[in-house]
Amino acid sequence: MRKTTLVGAMLTAFSFTSFAGGLLTNTNQHVSFNRNFAREATRQIDGVYSNPAGLAFMEDGFYLSLNNQSAYQTRTIHSTFAPFAGFGGNATKEFKGTASVPIIPSVFAVYKKGDWAFSGSIAITGGGGKATFNRGLGSFESGVSLVPAMLTASGIPANQYSVDAFMEGSQIIYGVQLGASYKITDYLSAFGGFRTNIVSNSYVGHIRDIEANIGGNMTNVNTYLTGVAASYTAAGMLPQAAAVQAKADAVADRELDCDQTGWGITPIIGLHYTQGRLNVGMKYEFMTNLNIENDTKIDDTGLFTDGVNTPNDIPALLTFGAEYAILPSLRASAGYHHFFDPDAKMANNKQAFTGRGTNEYLGGLEYDINDWMTISCGGQITDYDVSDKYQTDMSFSLDSYSIGGGFAFKLSEKLKMNIAYFETIYSDGSETNPNYNTTGLPLTDVYSRTNKVFGVGFDYKF
């Protein structure tokens, strides 16, 4: 059994709670997105993120928006590996991670005067919550499942094992954005700004109490082998003692407690065009060079040396879209996102397995029922281009489509409330390693996910 049983589980950094968007980016930063995904040409306050150039066409005044979203997600891996049958009798096991994040806040602000609009936001631009795997992961247990075979080959018959495995990880990228929009003509405006991204990751995990049925009883393997090594030492058989003690060390308890921090700047530019019933918006976010540094308290894996930096770039993002007023009360919109994933450096050079990058296709409808209520709905298709080598049970990305809808209520002349819900439906993914851990045995993982997000927000004009 290899010493790296914990196998860098946290190094790949969960993108577990990226609610909508690319591999590392949350695009649903305002509740208006949840009820109509295609916001790339909006001229409302959510344009601070979705279409900042369009803010130059707002009415003069100061605007403030407060939002909260609640996300509920699961990530499930069904792993099939013949030695798993030694713990429970089934070669296929389910490893399930859950995340419940009731509070995901964001704040947007705009000051519009004449041809200028100055804007800012504070939001969770990547990640956002904590994922817990109470039984660990298949990549943890697969190494442990080989212990009975290792013991049997050493002359100690065994065919069963057990282990206490646990993993919990969180990844949050806080985004603070500032910028200015300028109306160049009655039809065209431009935006320039930046976002400061602050990363705060935290990972804890353990593998404890590895046991096997030695002599008919479930016995702690580390304790047993350490005793055998001691008896060899007492008998003067030092080479044999060293060999057995190495095996004992391989099945010792292992702990990990590591925080990671880092920051980077994202320059942003945008354009907006308006003509009659048509609005068209474009935005480009440059790639963010970002490294995350380990602040390691415990690391029995030897993989998370304190102070070491890991690349964690945020890919560049191009968005454009259009909104058209079919009727004064009915508007249709469409949008497109492209994330330049191959250009962004990732841990273990994973960007090499991201193909052309991520594409997203968005659409939406809004209808004003009356002067104070608007109903809307939308959809989004997310198409990743990642190879099997990108996918692991610790970090996988699945193609999906999302549907959502909601309402906007005009509570007064100055106050509007947005309320919305969306759900993401993922395609299952799978990966097979025909010679896992050089055992000559195949291991197959089947990946699935769920995602549900509810949001409420208030937009106010002073």
pLDDT > 70: percent of the chain: 95
The band of 449, judged by pLDDT with boundaries at 50, 70 and 90, is very high
Answer yes or no: are the C-beta atoms of 341 and 315 closer than 8 Å: yes
Q: What is the value of pTM for the model shown?
A: 0.89
What confidence tens digit (pLDDT) does each residue in 338-368 have? 999 999 888 878 888 888 999 999 999 999 9
pLDDT of residue 2: 36
Closest to 408 measured CA to CA, from 27, 29, 21, 33: 33
Segment 276-308, tens digit of pLDDT: 999 999 999 999 999 999 999 999 877 788 999
Predicted local confidence at residue 348, as pLDDT: 79
Using CA atoms, how far residue 325 sits from 63, 280, 363, 371, in Å, is 24, 12, 14, 16
* Cα separation, 85 vs 92, whole angstroms: 8
d(CA 217, CA 396): 38
In order, the DSSP letters of 100-156 are: EEEEEEEEEEEEEETTEEEEEEEEEEEEEEEEEETT--HHHHHHHTTHHHHHHHTT-
Q: pLDDT-based confidence at 126, cuts 50/70/90?
A: confident
How far is Cα 139 from Cα 151, in angstroms, rounded to an integer? 20
Q: Domains of the chain by range and CATH? A: 31-76+93-129+170-201+268-461 (2.40.160.60)
Interacting residues of 432 by C-beta distance below 8 A, sequence separation 6+: 442, 443, 444, 445
